[in-house]
Amino acid sequence: MNVKVLGAAREVGRSGFLIDCDGTNLLLDYGVMFGRRGSPPQYPSHVKPKDIDSVIITHAHLDHSGYVPSLFVSGHCNVYTTPPTLELTQLLIEDMLKIEKNFHPFDLPELNNMIKNTKEIGFREKIKRGNATFELRSSGHVIGGGTVLVESDNKRVFYTGDIHPKGSRMLKEADLDIGKIDLVITESTYSQTEQMPRKQSEDGLVEFANEVMDRKGILFVPAFSVERSQEIACVLRNAGFKHKVIMDGMALKVNEIMFRYLEYLRDPKVFADSINRAVSIRNNRERKNALSEPCVVISPAGMLVGGNAVYYLQELAFDSKNGIALVSYQGDGTPGKKLLETGKVETRGRDLKVSAEVRQFEFSGHADKNELFNLIKNIEGNPKVLTVHGDDESCTKFAQEIHEKLGLEAFSPKVDELIKV
């Protein structure tokens, strides 16, 4: 077997790995990397659809799925993924095409063609294509999200995609009963960072929400629409939070999709209960009325970029009774990062000091430093390890650590590097 790295090499974004199984080519993920401040998006290295037997999408996030439609511009191939990933991928790519009109070299017809060529598979369902056998295993990262096991010619490759071994309040632990492995392709996002235990983040958020309610304020929680929004609703419900919880924006569409796949969740009852109790906002009038009493507002975008977040900021940021809880990753150059660093937001072209109380909480969907290291340590078979999907330092230092402490051959590959298994 040969692995060609097409992207996510010392960077987070545009994941893509081409596995040549003695002539049967599998493409694991094919994502986009969004440009900073108006620069164009970047994509993984080019592959011809006719050279690929099948694409396997690990999960719906656009850095893993967003470029798959490009393979349907002048050809087609098989796509395999879980049913929830397929629905969420469609939703997220449609949204991307709407926001970045004419930015990408494909459009809705190619997306629809991709969906037509997709075969839905369950976790642990083995698929045989030519000289390759592959399966998805649950990753604990996002609903329907998986890791990939590829077998060919008595060799086995394990690709983590994005992984959260412990899962979350929404998702069960990752399925890591994978046996002997010859090559691991592992994400490295937080390989150099320790995260606050989930319980501590949950308690902190609930306490903050109650404090804000006690002073008759409104707590605004900008959150990613896929899962983080639902997780926050569940955390509040689980803690017996008594006030109104409002959900807005694309999170509502994600709610509908998740309701169709309750079997993928850790506790379907808590999920259904939390979402059913939350108030959905469908138009401007409802949005306005909702803010007439103390409540929690959960709405995208997680980094305060665009959409309803702007509305809620304008309404809520300049009253010291209110609170803003940042629960998502804040990328460089985003309004969320600016709020954290300067205490200011830009509204109507002016930088204004926020008087609402701002606190940040960690609710990451990725393994942290210790979890990643233990994940590699516990894999049998003394595999070779490729560290990808992290910034330069996270990938290179992680590879060094694996080599020094575990004695395994490990390195952070460059784009287009070819690795023999």
Residues engaged in binding Zn ion (CB under 5 A): 61, 63, 162
CB of 239 to Zn ion, least distance (A): 26
CB of 89 to Zn ion, least distance (A): 12
Query: Considering beta carbons, is residue 208 or 329 the nearer one to Zn ion?
Result: 329
Tokens of 38: 């108006």
207 by DSSP, 3-state: which? Answer: helix
Q: DSSP of 309-366, one letter per residue?
A: HHHHHHHHTT-TT-EEEE-S---TTSHHHHHHHHSEEEETTEEEE--SEEEE----SS
Tokens of 386: 């490729």
Query: Considering beta carbons, is residue 15 or 322 the nearer one to Zn ion?
Result: 15
Half-sphere exposure of 20 (CA within 13 A, CB side): 12
Radius of gyration, CA atoms only, the chain? 21
Q: Bridge partners of 55? A: 27, 79
CB < 8 Å & 24+ apart, contacts of 348-355: 352/317, 352/318, 354/317, 354/318, 354/324, 355/317, 355/318, 355/319, 355/320
CB of 263 to Zn ion, least distance (A): 21
Query: Considering beta carbons, is residue 144 or 323 the nearer one to Zn ion?
Result: 144
Tokens of 100: 């970045």
Query: Considering beta carbons, is residue 110 or 162 the nearer one to Zn ion?
Result: 162
Q: How far apart are CA 173 and CA 165, in angstroms?
A: 5
> For 381, which DSSP code?
S
CB of 142 to Zn ion, least distance (A): 6
Specify whether the CB–CB gap between 299 and 308 falls below 8 A.
yes
CB of 316 to Zn ion, least distance (A): 29
Query: Considering beta carbons, is residue 95 or 211 the nearer one to Zn ion?
Result: 95
Residue 14 phi, psi (nearest 5): 40, 55
Query: Considering beta carbons, is residue 21 or 372 the nearer one to Zn ion?
Result: 372
CB of 219 to Zn ion, least distance (A): 26
Query: Considering beta carbons, is residue 144 or 336 the nearer one to Zn ion?
Result: 144
CB of 61 to Zn ion, least distance (A): 4
Query: Considering beta carbons, is residue 24 or 189 the nearer one to Zn ion?
Result: 189
- Interacting residues of 60 by C-beta distance below 8 A, sequence separation 6+: 84, 85, 88, 89, 91, 92, 142, 144, 145, 226
CB of 419 to Zn ion, least distance (A): 20
H and E: helices and strands count for the chain: 12, 22
CB of 244 to Zn ion, least distance (A): 30
Query: Considering beta carbons, is residue 384 or 389 the nearer one to Zn ion?
Result: 389
CB of 7 to Zn ion, least distance (A): 11
142 by DSSP, 3-state: which? Answer: coil
Query: Considering beta carbons, is residue 61 or 169 the nearer one to Zn ion?
Result: 61
211 by DSSP, 3-state: which? Answer: helix
Half-sphere exposure of 193 (CA within 13 A, CB side): 15
